[in-house]
Amino acid sequence: IVNIKTNPVATKLTDSGANAVYTSLNAKIVEIIDIAAYQKLGELQAGLAEGAKKLANGGKQLQAGNAKVQAGANQVKSGESQVKDGAEQVKAGASSLNDGADQLKQGSDQLSDGASQVEKGSEELSAAVDPSLIPDGPIKDYAEGNAKLADGSSQVAEGGKQLANGANQLADGGSQLANGTVQVAEGSSKLAEGSVSLASGASLLSNGATNALFAASSSLGSTADTLGGITGIDEDTLGDYFLSPVELERNELFPVNSYGSDVSPFYLVLSMWVGAVITCVMMKPGTSQGTKYSPFEMYFGKLLIYIIMSILQACVTIIGCYLLGIQILNPVLFIASCILVSIIFMILIYSIISAIGTVGKAIGVILLVLQISATGGIYPIQIMHPFFKLLYPYMPMTYGITLVREAQLGIVWSNYIPALIILLAIGCVTITAAVIIKEKLDKPSHYFEERLEESGLF
């Protein structure tokens, strides 16, 4: 945002500074973008390489795992066949064992019956034969043999019982073996189901791996398309962006149509000051010594003439502005401001010369020279020497330039009103001070002027 009317050179300096900042900012942005782009491209390249490496390793591991799963499935299938064959063999052996146990039990029963019959026959034989008819030796031998036979029969009977118990235990074991065979068969069935589940899981794993590989391939393809899209950007557009990443937008407040219009307030006010000095030099503000008028009457007697002259010179400058095509936004206010500034300057110069005589002319010229630099009419006061910065608020032209500029190029009342009040105050203070000083310095001033005339130098 640039306020063009503030100062003709200030806007140029602002433009120069803004352009310098604009150029520096663009260069810095391009530098940052370059660094960030190279870093991101490096990171992207490293990430793609690492991802491709991991994807390749994952493919190899998946292939090896798939082979192991297939081998395990084959082993499970083979083990399932072996378990089935063993179960059949166990079942057949259990059946044969049950048959043998039954036969053993029958033989044991027959042996027990035979032993009982032998014992019974022995008893019947002992009852039927008279022991006295039999010699002692054979009878004794027979009795001993019969006793041994009875003992053996008892042992056989006991062994038959033990054999029967063992057969029963064998039968129980056969039953448990049969139950175990059934459990083995059930376990074999579950193993077969687990094998099917394993095969299904292997299939799902294979499908998932395939999908993952496909997704990774699609992602890499999308990345490649993105990179392709980046590389497919129009080179001219990209070049224009890097040439000027930041666009400087200029918003002008109170735009001025020409440089002449921009500097005209300063030169208008300067011409009014110069006109006031020349008028007071050409016209004699005082009267000859010995007149009957008082200093007060002499001061106000000629003041009106000088005010009329100031109005005339203001009209001349205003006409010149219109003839030169100077931009004027508020004609009525501009004319009134020019006339007021011209009157105040004339009162100031006339009062100084009227009060102190010829020395006042020198003071008017000195003030003219100082105000050219100290009023900020061309160059901003901010860049001037501290001496001129010190004088700036005390120079009448400072407020005259502000008054004319606001009326001519765009009014800002917060600037116009204070300048108007200060100029009116300068006029009132000047008149009051001139009346007081002239009454005291009138005679010394006339004496000094007479001596200068007699010297022939002035």
Helix (H, G, I), strand (E, B) or coil at 357: coil
Output the domain CATH number for residue 169: 1.10.287
Q: What range defines the domain where residue 437 resides?
A: 257-455
Residue pointed to by tokens 């083979």: 78
**Domain identity same for 221 and 264:** no
Q: Is 264 part of a structural domain of the chain? A: yes
Instruction: Please give the average per-residue pLDDT across 88-115, as a whole number.
Output: 60
Share of the chain above pLDDT 90, in %: 26
Q: Residue 259 is encoded by which pair of tokens?
A: 């440089």
pLDDT of residue 200: 61
**Domain identity same for 407 and 337:** yes
**Domain identity same for 106 and 209:** yes
Is the pLDDT score of 205 beyond 90?
no
Is the pLDDT score of 64 beyond 60?
yes
pLDDT of residue 281: 87
Number of domains in the chain: 2
Q: Which of 312, 299, 397, 314 is nearest to 350 (CA)?
A: 299
d(CA 407, CA 269): 13
Is the pLDDT score of 133 beyond 90?
no
Burial class (CB within 10 angstroms; exposed 0-12, middle 13-18, buried 19+) of 125: exposed
Instruction: Please give the average per-residue pLDDT across 28-56, as a whole number.
Output: 68
Q: Is 41 part of a structural domain of the chain? A: yes
**Domain identity same for 399 and 331:** yes
Q: Residue 250 is encoded by which pair of tokens?
A: 């200029």
pLDDT of residue 400: 95
Q: Is 249 part of a structural domain of the chain? A: no
Burial class (CB within 10 angstroms; exposed 0-12, middle 13-18, buried 19+) of 232: exposed
Q: How far apart are the first and last CA of the chain?
A: 54
Is the pLDDT score of 244 beyond 90?
no
pLDDT in tens, 308-353: 999 999 999 999 999 999 999 999 999 999 999 999 999 999 999 8
Q: Is 34 part of a structural domain of the chain? A: yes
With beta carbons less than 8 A apart as the criterion, state whether 405 and 339 touch: no
Instruction: Please give the average per-residue pLDDT across 26-46, as a whole number.
Output: 68
Instruction: Please give the average per-residue pLDDT across 70-75, as a whole number.
Output: 65
Is the pLDDT score of 378 beyond 60?
yes
With beta carbons less than 8 A apart as the criterion, state whether 109 and 210 touch: no
**Domain identity same for 212 and 352:** no
**Domain identity same for 155 and 263:** no
Q: Is 246 part of a structural domain of the chain? A: no
pLDDT of residue 398: 94
pLDDT of residue 311: 97
Q: Is 251 part of a structural domain of the chain? A: no
Ranges assigned E (strand) in 242-286: 252-253
**Domain identity same for 345 and 407:** yes
Q: Residue 20: which pLDDT band, with cuts at 50, 70 and 90?
A: low
Percentages (nearest 5) of helix, strand, coil residues in the chain: 85, 0, 10
Query: Side-chain half-sphere of 400: how many Cα atoms within 13 Å?
Result: 32
Q: Residue 69: which pLDDT band, with cuts at 50, 70 and 90?
A: low
Partners of 175 in the β-ladder: none
The C-alpha angle with vertex 419 and arms to 415 and 424, in degrees rounded to 5, equals 150
Residue pointed to by tokens 């006793």: 147
**Domain identity same for 217 and 314:** no
**Domain identity same for 384 and 408:** yes
Q: Is 56 part of a structural domain of the chain? A: yes
**Domain identity same for 163 and 288:** no
Helix (H, G, I), strand (E, B) or coil at 456: coil
Instruction: Please give the average per-residue pLDDT across 169-188, as a whole number.
Output: 56
Instruction: Please give the average per-residue pLDDT across 164-176, as a whole number.
Output: 57
With beta carbons less than 8 A apart as the criterion, state whether 272 and 341 touch: yes
pLDDT of residue 142: 47
Is the pLDDT score of 231 beyond 60?
no
Q: Residue 184: which pLDDT band, with cuts at 50, 70 and 90?
A: very low
- Among 241, 276, 297, give the residue marking a domain's end: 241
**Domain identity same for 270 and 170:** no
pLDDT in tens, 252-300: 667 788 888 889 999 999 999 999 999 998 887 665 555 566 777 788 8
**Domain identity same for 347 and 206:** no
- Among 176, 206, 241, give the residue marking a domain's end: 241
Instruction: Please give the average per-residue pLDDT across 431-448, as a whole number.
Output: 75
pLDDT in tens, 388-428: 999 999 999 999 999 999 999 889 999 999 999 999 999 99
d(CA 341, CA 346): 9
Q: Is 247 part of a structural domain of the chain? A: no
Residue pointed to by tokens 């032209």: 397
pLDDT of residue 53: 73
CB proximity list for 335: less than 8 A, separation 6 or greater: 318
Q: Residue 151 is encoded by which pair of tokens?
A: 């003992």
The mean pLDDT of the chain is: 72
